[in-house]
Structure 1
Amino acid sequence: MKFFQFLLCLTVSLFILPQAQADELVHFDSAVVKPSPFLERKAKEQGEVPPVPQATPLIGYLTRPQGDGPFPAVVLMHGCGGIHPHVRDVWPERLVSWGYVTLVVDSFTTRNIENSCKTYLPDRVFDAYGALDFLTKSGFVDASRVALMGFSAGGIATLEATKIEGNEQFMDEKFKAAVAYYPVCAPHESDATVPTLILNGDLDDWSPAERCRQRIANLSGKGPPVELHIYPGARHDFDDEAMTKPKTVFGHVEEYNAAAAEQSIASVQAFLKAYVGK
């Protein structure tokens, strides 16, 4: 009898415990920059039609906690090699357990791109804002509490999307915070528009930590806070458990580092809680 009572209690508890809803394939468009009033007026004066910007159809993977919300959210941008499992599955599961909706943006499939490791794809900034626009219209996301988080090339896009004098100024919706894992920093870039967390390994030969140190040193001190965490002994992809054995990709070493991963995850959780809230 006690055994059956135990089973009954276990079954009930499984239904009561909050569960993340399974990820869903969603479709949305990249954001576009509309012609400025000056360009529209100039075209009209010259009897021309201003060019109409074309959005790029995109797909993404949406995961959210149970309930109606509204929830805070995180848009995730993958690296130059495409969507790896730690971005596609591990980070969304982790973030949802913290109470965030997640949307992993696939920048390659609809563009028929295999990778962008030898080139830079500036359109990814607009992908991020297209994802933000999708989330703000979902009905279950708090539009004032959405962070942008990117890995490697996705980290570059994250920093580009949240810099002063960047394309953010042309967007109606804004991100609340930004997290960039092992990006290639632009040392002389302008200030950030939102609180930003940058995470690098000191042995990263793909995304040198020194460039991010220079970026921090060149900030005006008048913008939102930008935190830089550099982990000793850590290489590129240090948070990806699939890289337990070092792997050379395009001449660069990628390797999981348990200590750096654990510390960075704790830093991300604290950072999001402070600036996005949960």
Structure 2
Amino acid sequence: MVTRAKACLGVAVFVAYLSTNAATLAGELVRFESAPVHVGQLQQRLARERGETSKAASETIEGYLSKPEGDGPFSAIVYLHGCDGLSEDARTYNARGYVSLMLDSFATRGIKNACTQVTPGLLLTRQGDALGALSYLSKLPFVDSQRIAVIGYSQGAMVALQLASNQQAEIFDVPRDRKFKAAVAYYPLCGVASEELIVPALIMIGELDDWTPATDCERWMKRRADRGAPVKLIVYPGAYHAFNSPAFADGREYLGHWLKYDPTAAAQSVQEMRSFLAAQFSH
């Protein structure tokens, strides 16, 4: 479904709109292991011949965990930042009624930003980080392990769509049934996803986005022809990249792209996301 709604790379609007004082845990720094890439049969055989134990390597990742009051179990959300990393504001984020984990894929790797070039290797690494976050949350007693969604922004949104994709091979060393309940993607390049998704997705993008063009998502929607899990694409007329970030209220050029806050699109996108998540978590 494609919808054209009327009129940083981060999460500022969503933070402000859904924040609440009813949280007892706000922005606690937590650490967990990124999901390791699966070691194939060939690598295992070669290791055995060398008398070694073949084991996938993992990395320690940081995130900021928040939860509502009470024992739960609560639905949960994993947030994936854009190419410029996790903002300070996002670290103290509280989601109304949800456990939230703001994942930081760059801190422990010493990456300041990754905006000049998006490599398949980095996207793959960030998928492993998100799956590690999913595993971490699933083991918390106050989290409903069957109701965990992923929300990504820009580069993080591309990762979210890849996580929702029908992977043709077992890439990560995780249980086959470990997947997110749903995915929300703010202004991604949709072409990185498979044409068939395995979980429902909501995609929101600006009509005038010159960094991750809306036309890329519209072409992808036509190619997928409603196969797999349902997808809703919303294109906001007159909106640019980072339309939900007040930091770009006056508009700004960054790396040759125009970033501009659109309060109308931002507010509508939050409502769309809230409705989407409520629907997905209800069953």
Structures share a fold, TM > 0.5?
A: yes
- What RMSD in Å do the two structures reach over aligned CA positions? 2.2
What's the CA shift for 1:248?
A: 1.4
User: Is the counterpart of residue 231 in structure 1 residue 236 in structure 2?
Assistant: yes
User: Is the counterpart of residue 56 in structure 1 residue 56 in structure 2?
Assistant: no
Unaligned residue ranges in structure 1 (runs of 5+): 1-16
Give distance in 2, aligned partners of 1:19 and 1:44: 48
Give distance in 2, aligned partners of 1:118 and 1:237: 16
Comparing 198-207 and 245-254, the one that deviates more: 245-254
User: Is the counterpart of residue 83 in structure 1 residue 83 in structure 2?
Assistant: no
Amino acid at match of 1:27: R
Contact 2:38 2:170 in 1 (8 A): no
Give distance in 1, aligned partners of 2:76 and 2:35: 18
Amino acid at match of 2:215: E
Give distance in 1, aligned partners of 2:30 and 2:85: 17
Contact 2:151 2:157 in 1 (8 A): yes
Deviation track 1:199-252 (CA, whole Å, cap 9, x = no partner) reads: 000011111000000111111433100110000011111111222111111111
Give distance in 2, aligned partners of 1:131 and 1:187: 21
Which gives a bigger RCO, structure 1 or 2 (Cα 8 Å, sep 6+)?
2
Comparing 68-77 and 158-167, the one that deviates more: 158-167
**The residue matched to 2:58 in structure 1 has which SS?**
coil
Give distance in 2, aligned partners of 1:88 and 1:163: 28
User: Is the counterpart of residue 240 in structure 1 residue 242 in structure 2?
Assistant: no
Tell me the percent identity.
Answer: 39
Contact 2:23 2:67 in 1 (8 A): no
Calculate the TM-score normalised by the size of structure 2: 0.83
Corresponding position of 2:101:
103
**The residue matched to 2:56 in structure 1 has which SS?**
coil
Corresponding position of 1:10:
none
Q: 1:159 to 1:187 in 2, by over 3 A?
A: closer
**The residue matched to 1:206 in structure 2 has which SS?**
coil
Contact 1:64 1:101 in 2 (8 A): yes
Contact 2:47 2:54 in 1 (8 A): no
Q: 1:159 to 1:46 in 2, by over 3 A?
A: same
Aligned residues: 256
Contact 1:161 1:168 in 2 (8 A): no
Unaligned residue ranges in structure 2 (runs of 5+): 1-20
Give distance in 2, aligned partners of 1:174 and 1:137: 14
What's the CA shift for 1:43?
A: 3.4
Residue among 11, 24, 30 paired with 1:26: 30
Deviation track 1:17-52 (CA, whole Å, cap 9, x = no partner) reads: 84453220111111113324x346633774554642
Amino acid at match of 1:29: E
Q: 1:110 to 1:167 in 2, by over 3 A?
A: farther
What's the CA shift for 1:116?
A: 0.7
Contact 2:37 2:57 in 1 (8 A): no
Deviation track 1:140-191 (CA, whole Å, cap 9, x = no partner) reads: 1101000010000000111112211267774322100000000112177331
Contact 2:161 2:192 in 1 (8 A): no
Comparing 50-59 and 240-249, the one that deviates more: 50-59
Calculate the TM-score normalised by the size of structure 1: 0.85
How is 1:1-278 mapped onto 2 (pairs within 5 angstroms)? Answer: 18-36=22-40, 38-39=41-42, 42-43=45-46, 46=49, 49=52, 51-84=54-87, 87-89=90-92, 92-93=93-94, 96-97=95-96, 99-120=97-118, 121-122=122-123, 123-165=125-167, 170=172, 171-172=174-175, 173-186=178-191, 189-277=194-282
Contact 2:250 2:261 in 1 (8 A): yes
Corresponding position of 2:7:
none
